[in-house]
Structure 1
Amino acid sequence: MTSSTAADLPLPGWAYVPGEPADSEPDHETLGHAKALVPAQFFGFVPTRHPALRYGMALNDAGYFWESQQVLEAVWAAAPQGGRERILLRACIRVANANLKLRMRKPNAAARLWGEALAEINDLLSRRSAAGGDGFADRFQAASLVKLLKTRLAQPTLSKADWIALGSIT
């Protein structure tokens, strides 16, 4: 599968939610196609337009939170060690996981994960970015995510409707 076909990747047949009996197994076949797009290693940075990265973000925004984590973790594993993209990807993975916890009616777990994501983003913002870089961390609007996370964390109660879309931030 070439990177040009990533836009044609279908959404999984169902959104997997651990502990729910409806579809007890994730749609590994669909996710496998996206993970196959990830190279063994990215050199220098993770390109903003990499198809697996974009697909992982789109999965989150379509409500496939567990699936988003799986694809973003594959991208994270290939990202350069110690790089800004790894920090940002960890934050995005935590946001997707928090969204999943909200769906599972575990708002305290979601708040904890958002707090961890906020710490990751603050770490990212403290590091120097490449001016005009084409990396995911160079193009992502991290300050917007900080604002959104702080707003959610300030809410007295959280519900399933409070999940965070990542695609609108990039």
Structure 2
Amino acid sequence: MNVPSHASGQLPWPQWAYVPGEAAGLDADYQTLDMAKALVPSAFRGHVPARHPALRYGLALNDRGYFWEAQEVLEAVWAAAPQNGRERILLRACILIANANLRLRMQKSHSAARLFGEALTELRSLTSRKAAPAGDGFVESFPIPALTALLQAKLGRPQLSKADWIALGAIVRS
């Protein structure tokens, strides 16, 4: 996934991937994340555009192994998404997956499995919500069945490992 541009060019990647408890005194690279969060409007109208730069950046952060940072950016997009909208549900699932990926990196496989399960529950709840007409919204362009199947496969394993993390952008491209 390409890194989206913003007013002054490319959004930079964080200087390091923050992992709570492992950062040897380093805190997260908030300055870099703030550039992406600044692109998020106070509220999206109607839907979250699938090509919104902060959304794409948050997904790309996850796929590059910046799991904590992905959560931060995706939470900013989630907060601006329309209340009670389908995008909020999908964004919550993506945030849970990024959090689960972080737990896998921290070797907390039981916590990761629980979070993957919560993400799967969110995705299943989308089927009961009325779909909007085809458009350029995040939900309409995201392959929810593929992500649902991948989560089910991961949860069917007896034990998760660091290698079981989920790349969200790869699902979008497939």
What is the TM-score normalised by the length of structure 2? 0.93
Other structure's SS at 1:152 match: helix
Deviations, residues 54-92 of structure 1 (Å, cap 9, x unaligned): 000000000000000000000000000000000000000
How many residue pairs match? The answer is 169
CA contact (8 A) 1:111 1:153 kept: yes
Q: Distance in 2 between matches of 1:168 and 1:5?
A: 26
Aligned mate of 1:122, from 121, 124, 146: 124
What is the TM-score normalised by the length of structure 1? 0.95
Deviation of the 1:131 alpha carbon: 2.7
Let me know the Cα RMSD of the aligned residues.
1.6
The runs of 5 or more residues in structure 1 that have no matched partner are: none
Other structure's SS at 2:171 match: coil
Identity %, equivalent residues: 64
Aligned mate of 2:140, from 138, 141, 145: 138
CA contact (8 A) 2:5 2:11 kept: no
Query: Who is 1:71 aligned against?
Result: 73
CA contact (8 A) 1:85 1:136 kept: yes
Query: Who is 1:52 aligned against?
Result: 54
Runs of at least 4 residues of structure 1 off by over 3 A?
Answer: 2-7
Deviation of the 1:22 alpha carbon: 3.1
Aligned mate of 1:42, from 40, 44, 47: 44
Task: Output aligned runs, 1:1-170, within 5 Å.
Answer: 4-5=6-7, 8-22=10-24, 24-170=26-172
CA contact (8 A) 1:47 1:135 kept: yes
The runs of 5 or more residues in structure 2 that have no matched partner are: none
Deviations, residues 32-69 of structure 1 (Å, cap 9, x unaligned): 00000000000000000000000000000000000000
